[in-house]
Each structure stands twice: as C-alpha cells, then as structure tokens.
Copies of this chain bind each other. A is one copy, B any other.
C-alpha cells in the first residue's frame, strides 16, 4: 500500500509539474511581446509590496529560521537564509534597478542586405521559459524572477526547502506586481513542493523549459549537469588566480592580491591561488604575504614560498585544484609567463584570472592565452561581477563556454532570431 501511495504521489507531482510547464510556456508567449512599461510596472509594484509586507516577510522568515535552527544548520547557512529589514529593502531596490535597465527585447543586433535584395536582421528575443533551481538564499526568488521578467521570460522557481516560507512570501509580492501590471501571473511560478523529485522532473521538461539556471553549491550544480535534458547556464566553481609577473609594481602587487583574496573570500571571483615569478619571489612575497597573514589569512605554499615565508604551511597538488571560498591562499612560484599561463589553464576553472605587471607585452600575451571567461590586467579578480561590468543585476557568473560566458544579466537571458524581409524572392535551383 505504501508503494502504491508513493506512486500516486509521484504521478500527482508529475501532473502538477507538467501543468506548471504549460502555464509557463503560455505566459512566455505573452511576455515575449509585452511592452516595456508593463514589465517595469510589475517590477516596481512588486518592490513596493516587498516594502509594504516587510513584517509578513519577517514572520515567514522566522518560521524558516526556527526550522533551520531545529535541524542544526550551520551559522553560514543560517546567515544565508536570514532576512532583515535591510535585506528586504535591498531586494526591493534590486527590482527597481532591474526596471531601470534598458529593455533588451527587440534590439536589432545587426542588419544587412543580400545581393538578391533580401534584408536580414538579427533581433534580440527572450529565451522563453527559464527554470531556476536554488538553495537557501530567499532573495534569489526576487532577483531571478525579476531578471527573467525584464528579459521577457517566464520563470519557474524551485527554491530550497529551508527557505520555503520566505520564498513563498516574496513570490506572492511578485505575483501581485504582475497582476497589477496586467501580465500573466504564471510569468513567475514557484514549484509548490520542495521535494527533490521535483528537481528531477523539472530537468526533463525540455518541451516547456528552455534553459535551466542552478544557483548553489557544487553538488547541486553537478547533479543538474548530470541529469538535465535542458541546456544549463551555471557557475560550477571559481578557482581564480592572481599572477605576479617579474615586472609587477610592488605596491599594486600588495594591494591587488590583498583585495583579490580578502575583500570577500567567499565569492566566486575571490583569488584562490597566487602565482609569482621566481626572479621576484624574494622581493615581492614578503610584503604581499605579510599583509595577508596579518589579516588572518592562511598561506599554503610550495617549498620556495615556505623558505621565504616560514609561517606558510605546505601546499599539496590538491591545493592547486581547490576552491577554498575562505581565508586560505595557495601560493606557487613559477618560472615565468609561460609556466603561469600553463598552470592557470591546467588547474583553473576558466572563471577569472589576473596578471599584475608593468610589461604591456606580457600582459597582452596573458590576456590572449589564458582561457578564462574573464582575464584581467592590473586589477582585482573580485571585479568579476555583472554590476561591476556595468550590466546591472546578474543571476550569476557562467563558467560554461556557450551562450553566456561570464556574468549572466538581462541581455544574457535573451536569444535572437533572424528577420528576413523580401519582396517575392525565391531561391534559384
């Protein structure tokens, strides 16, 4: 009997998910040609409701926080889950900022005329239906829903069970905004169960979902990559490097390395490995590492590094492949530009890598040959961010190579079509 009941539940969930997919597809069709004013109004009205309903949001969040404490979640997890007035205001402001961004839909990216008189244009259009799978941060509900809406996409949000009540309260504000703006309420839907099975079902809905955007830890992303029948835009990991070239300016080397590691060690653009040319290791490493050690950063170095800075622990091969997301820095001495590039292309995650040098030619070679989404000369890797790039809000940094590489903002949530205008042309045999 238990098996039968479970089977009935599965069929019920499957039918529910399929219905969500159909509603999303229908909403996407309407959103694709919705005027900018309606989309922006929905965003602003949702922001207003987030502010108005602050106390309800905090109450919903308290339910989630209580349950999370009961389950003994870590302090970091609890912090990610927590809402307060400041965070609610930031979400509301985020939606208003999305409303202020230009509408990408309908932009003509190129236009040309063929010898036979055909006029061909490449025009930006929405992706369609975006499935977003995330974990404990409730603000993703507003950020991702808002970005998808602005780009003319319908969103299916599947948040984590920890943030269920918080996300549902935020989602209600988005739906209110849509309703007031006369847009389909199914433009932003939330999967009403937090069952893991729902994720598996969503990843197979290739007829109604056009792209999957997972936001979360490595195990979630790997599961999505392994199971998805739908194209995935994801951020797998950020093993970012800062490379101090033999012609690095010492002051820049100290400031950039410190910022790249310590500004916020837990973000994907934080530097995880420092490379330094052998010829300048003796002079550059002492001030660079001293500053880090003073601030409480652990250093894991190769033999040369440990000779120069005895407080460094021994690094293993594993350290070159590790995304610490913490106040730990792996440090390795290399024999020049070529070895630095080879190290980054071998051990890195093709996310963001920087060179510090006053040698323009070396910099240009680094920028050309390092195979990463973002390559940087003389600046901190922590600039890897849609906002810092001037793209407005982002849904994440994509580490895949196709479609959207780097920050995924409103423009990256669109695709294009070719519009061909003729006056009776037929194709010759």
Contacts and interface: CB of A to CB of B under 8 A. Distances in A.
Given A390-B114, A401-B128, A416-B405, A424 B249 contact: yes
A259 interface: yes
The prevalent SS among residues of A at the interface is mixed
A54 interface: no
A367 interface: yes
Contacts of A369: 32-33
A379 B425 contact: yes
Contacts of A69: none
Contacts of A127: 401-402
A368 B126 CA distance: 12
B424 A378 contact: yes
Contact of A380 (B259, B367, B368, B425): B425
Interface stretch (A139-147, A183-191, A381-389): A381-389
A255 B417 contact: no
Nearest to A416: B405
A383 to B, nearest CB: 5
A250 to B, nearest CB: 11
Contacts of A375: 417-420
B263 A422 contact: no
A259 B405 CA distance: 40
A194 to B, nearest CB: 26
Contacts of A251: 424
B424 A382 contact: no
A162 to B, nearest CB: 28
A336 interface: no
A218 to B, nearest CB: 15
B378 A426 contact: no
Given A114-B390, A402-B403, A377 B420 contact: yes
A226 interface: yes
Interface in A105-161: 106, 112, 114, 118, 120, 125, 127-128
A25 to B, nearest CB: 10
A231 to B, nearest CB: 5
Given A369-B33, A390-B112, A256 B424 contact: yes
B114 A420 contact: no
How many monomers of this protein are in the complex?
2
Interface range, A side: 35 or more
Nearest to A368: B33
B390 A252 contact: no
Contacts of A380: 425-427
Contacts of A231: 231, 400-402
A39 to B, nearest CB: 16
A429 B374 contact: no
A152 to B, nearest CB: 11
A34 B373 CA distance: 19
A371 B105 CA distance: 13
A425 B29 contact: no
A14 to B, nearest CB: 18
Contacts of A374: 417-418, 420
A385 to B, nearest CB: 8
B383 A420 contact: yes
Contacts of A263: 426-427, 429
A167 interface: no
B371 A29 contact: yes
6 contacts: A106-B368, A256-B424, A263-B429, A377-B420, A405-B415, A406-B418
Given A125-B371, A374-B418, 12 more contacts: A112-B390, A128-B401, A206-B225, A249-B424, A251-B424, A258-B426, A367-B421, A375-B420, A376-B422, A377-B421, A383-B425, A385-B427
